[in-house]
Amino acid sequence: MSNAMANPQARVLIPLIGAGIVLACTLVSQSPGTSVPAAPAHSPTPEASTARLTVTPPALSLTATPGLLLHGSVHNVDGTALEGVTICRSLASYPGTQVAITDGNGDFAAEFMSIPGDEMITVWPYEEGFSFDPTQVYWRHYHGFEVSTLTFVASAPQPGAISATPCQ
């Protein structure tokens, strides 16, 4: 597979660049006072066809920026959405920060977070008067781009249940 076919941006840019060249040549040939030599009636010899138009697209990167996109949902045990739940995230042993709040459908999405290397991630929901299953999600983010989808189930606190803690 050619480099241009493997690169979706190049597949768009190369035809656009080619179309721009054709348009420019057409406009020049239609301009008053300009003449464009006619193509030869015979096939050129290899020596005569050494001039070639080369279009090089800009350098494009297919690697994503290292980091984390975090999204998911929070629902009650009966399956109904839970709006207004704070989603907290912490890195390694640093304090947590609020990264999202659930909407009317119980869904949340945090903004992209750049993480240049390996990092321990902890994510947990918080809403006064509720406990969650799982209480928190903890994993190692390896260098690279990651999308993580998390689902939490909320219930009224039970005696002896671990309550969620606010973002710190």
Neighbours of 147 (CB within 10 A): 10
Give pLDDT tens digits for 104-151: 999 999 999 998 889 999 999 999 889 999 999 999 998 899 999 999
What was the pLDDT predicted at 15? 43
What was the pLDDT predicted at 8? 45
Domains identified in the chain and CATH numbers: 1-62 (no CATH), 67-155 (2.60.40.10)
The secondary structure of the chain, three-state, reads CCHHHHCHHHHHHHHHHHHHHHHHHHHHHHCCCCCCCCCCCCCCCCCCCCCCCCCCCCCCCCCCCCEEEEEEEEEECCCCECCCCEEEEEECCCCCEEEEECCCCCEEECCCEECCCCEEEEEEEECCCCEEECCCEEEEECCCEEEEEEEEEEECCCCCCCCCCCCC
Q: Which residue has the tokens 């994993």?
A: 139
What was the pLDDT predicted at 97? 94
**pLDDT beneath 70, residues of the chain:** 1-63, 160-163
Distance, CA of 149 to CA of 108 (rounded, Å): 10
What was the pLDDT predicted at 153? 97
Distance, CA of 20 to CA of 26 (rounded, Å): 10
What was the pLDDT predicted at 137? 96
What was the pLDDT predicted at 56? 54
